[in-house]
A and B are shown apart, each in its own frame.
Chain A
Amino acid sequence: MASLKSPPERERHDEPGPMVPEPFVVRSKRQDTSDTWTLELTSVADDAGLHFAPGQFTMIEAGGSGEVPISISGDPGEPDVLVHTVRSVGLATQAICKAQPGQVLGVRGPFGNSWPVELLEGRDVVVAAGGIGLAPLRPAILAMIANRERYGRLVLLYGARTASQMLYVDELERWREEGFEVHATVDSAGPEWLGHVGVVTRLIGRARLTASFAGLTCGPEIMMRLTALALADFGIDGEQLYVSTERNMQCGIGHCGHCQLGPWLLCRDGPVFDWQTLAHWLQLRDV
């Protein structure tokens, strides 16, 4: 009841509230796959991007078609531009993906917590990404590469549906040169694909992982569950595995209730959790 008669100190009312978007202009745009685009944006006000930590997201919208949570996929060391990789799956994401250079979009954020890249310094780290789940992991990968000497082995396991659905194909080779062991696989392939075919968890057995590793994973929930199981076989338990979660985030600030998972508001308390913390709640049905 203490808050009742003594609400928090009044903020300056000329500061916009947390639900008000800031105009950002599309600087460039690149098509990654048949349904996924990467946009680079800068603020109309100061021609800069956003300072963010790897794993954080923004709420973004185009042309009055509704707002969606999208992870930031840029380089945290280069906050002069805001980078988002967006898959066109609904009305709002379709409008964002259609935006052309020069178009002004609305952005709120950044929101949420981040991948524990600093906590993991001194460790071996395996990054397991499924599909567009590589986008939220890209800032963590770039942050670890920027401080390559602070980590032991760095391993990326990346699974996609097909070769043409793989993100950042040009970059995978560069990451390899910069100290990541990169293993990629696709669920199905034609004769033109000369890499691995099979699900991403099959890569775990091939990457010579040990209990010294910590993991970061992002992808469809089923993929992350199976990844957690497979990593446990190599002694990497749930406390050493960090996942990025998804529910129906609508406000980004813990006010709208939509992204609840049991005791957590994923937008406020996440999106990054250690697997141990979440496993019980994800195993319950329909929570």
Chain B
Amino acid sequence: MQALDELIAHVPTFAGLSEEQLKLIGGCGRNRHIGAGEMLFAEGDPADHFFLIRRGLVALEVHAPGRGPLRIETLEHGEVVGWSWLFAPYRWQLDARALEACELIEFDAACLRGKVAEDHELGYQLMSRFAANVISRLQATRFQLLDVYGKSEVTA
């Protein structure tokens, strides 16, 4: 079986990190299987872990009373689920649910936060990579807010 550091080396979020850094991160991870419909985390819970999807589809949702879960976004293999573990107050802002059976790597956030506190270079690398994720999803969200298919629509 492949070591976790080798597995994560090919994921965009971690690509280009040094072997040593990959080992540090991989050292905080473990394989996890989650069944369809199960929650990865829930809004308000402490963000003490995050996930890399190896297989399957995960949805980020907001639960609204009377409207049920509103699905904001879906994430698939190669994508990272969760960034609240890296930013105070380390609480989840959304629900994450597996839409199908998922193979995940679960990372221990407390462990990684400890390593980052000692190794600022690793901290910088993780911060810039997660910030890039945040930016790309923020941009996608802004686009989503425009509701372009609703009104300004091609007739053609």
Interface set of A (CB-CB < 8 Å, partner B): 57, 68-71, 87, 89, 93, 130-133, 135-136, 159-161, 165, 185, 187-191, 193-199, 201-202, 205-206, 218-223, 226, 244, 246, 271
A194 touches B147 (CB 8 A): no
A135 touches B71 (CB 8 A): no
| Across-interface contacts of A187 in B (CB, < 8 A) | 144, 147, 149
CB distance from B129 to the nearest CB of A (A): 15
Determine which of B57, B74, B143, B155 lies in contact with A222 in the assembled complex, contact meaning CB atoms within 8 Å. Answer: B143
Interface residues on B, range: 20 to 34
| Across-interface contacts of A220 in B (CB, < 8 A) | 148-149, 152-154
B156 touches A189 (CB 8 A): no
| Across-interface contacts of B156 in A (CB, < 8 A) | 57, 69-71, 133, 135-136, 218, 244, 246, 271
Question: Is B150 at the interface (CB under 8 A from chain A)?
Answer: yes
B149 touches A198 (CB 8 A): no
Determine which of A93, A191, A201 lies in contact with B143 in the assembled complex, contact meaning CB atoms within 8 Å. Answer: A201
| Across-interface contacts of A198 in B (CB, < 8 A) | 73-74, 140, 144
Question: Is B99 at the interface (CB under 8 A from chain A)?
Answer: yes
Question: Is B100 at the interface (CB under 8 A from chain A)?
Answer: yes
Mark B25-56 against chain A: 1 for CB-CB distance below 8 A, else 0.
00000000000000000000000000000000
| Across-interface contacts of B144 in A (CB, < 8 A) | 187-188, 198-199
Shortest Cβ-Cβ A-B pairs, 6 listed = A131-B149, A220-B148, A161-B149, A71-B156, A197-B71, A196-B74
B155 touches A68 (CB 8 A): yes
| Across-interface contacts of A194 in B (CB, < 8 A) | 57, 99-100
Determine which of B70, B78, B100, B154 lies in contact with A131 in the assembled complex, contact meaning CB atoms within 8 Å. Answer: B154
| Across-interface contacts of B59 in A (CB, < 8 A) | 197
B143 touches A87 (CB 8 A): no
Are A131 and B148 CB-contacts (below 8 A) given A57-B156, A222-B143, A246-B156? yes
Interface of A is mostly: mixed
Q: What are 13 pairs between A and B in contact, CB < 8 Å?
A: A131-B154, A133-B156, A136-B156, A161-B149, A188-B144, A190-B68, A190-B70, A195-B74, A202-B140, A220-B153, A220-B154, A223-B143, A244-B156
| Across-interface contacts of A161 in B (CB, < 8 A) | 147, 149-150
A133–B152 Cα distance when bound, in Å, is 12
CB distance from A157 to the nearest CB of B (A): 14
| Across-interface contacts of A69 in B (CB, < 8 A) | 155-156
| Across-interface contacts of A165 in B (CB, < 8 A) | 149
A224's nearest neighbour on chain B, judged by CB, is B154
Kindly identify, within residues 119 to 156 of chain B, every residue whose CB is under 8 Å from any CB belonging to chain A.
136, 140, 143-144, 146-150, 152-156
A222 touches B152 (CB 8 A): yes
B100 touches A191 (CB 8 A): no
Question: Is B72 at the interface (CB under 8 A from chain A)?
Answer: yes
| Across-interface contacts of A159 in B (CB, < 8 A) | 149
B100's nearest neighbour on chain A, judged by CB, is A194
| Across-interface contacts of A271 in B (CB, < 8 A) | 156
CB distance from B6 to the nearest CB of A (A): 20
A204–B72 Cα distance when bound, in Å, is 18
Question: Is B69 at the interface (CB under 8 A from chain A)?
Answer: yes
CB distance from B11 to the nearest CB of A (A): 12
CB distance from A219 to the nearest CB of B (A): 7
CB distance from B140 to the nearest CB of A (A): 5
Are A133 and B154 CB-contacts (below 8 A) given A194-B57, A202-B140, A222-B143? yes
A191–B74 Cα distance when bound, in Å, is 12
CB distance from A21 to the nearest CB of B (A): 17
B60's nearest neighbour on chain A, judged by CB, is A197
Are A132 and B100 CB-contacts (below 8 A) given A160-B149, A187-B149, A193-B71? no
A189 touches B71 (CB 8 A): yes
| Across-interface contacts of A133 in B (CB, < 8 A) | 154, 156
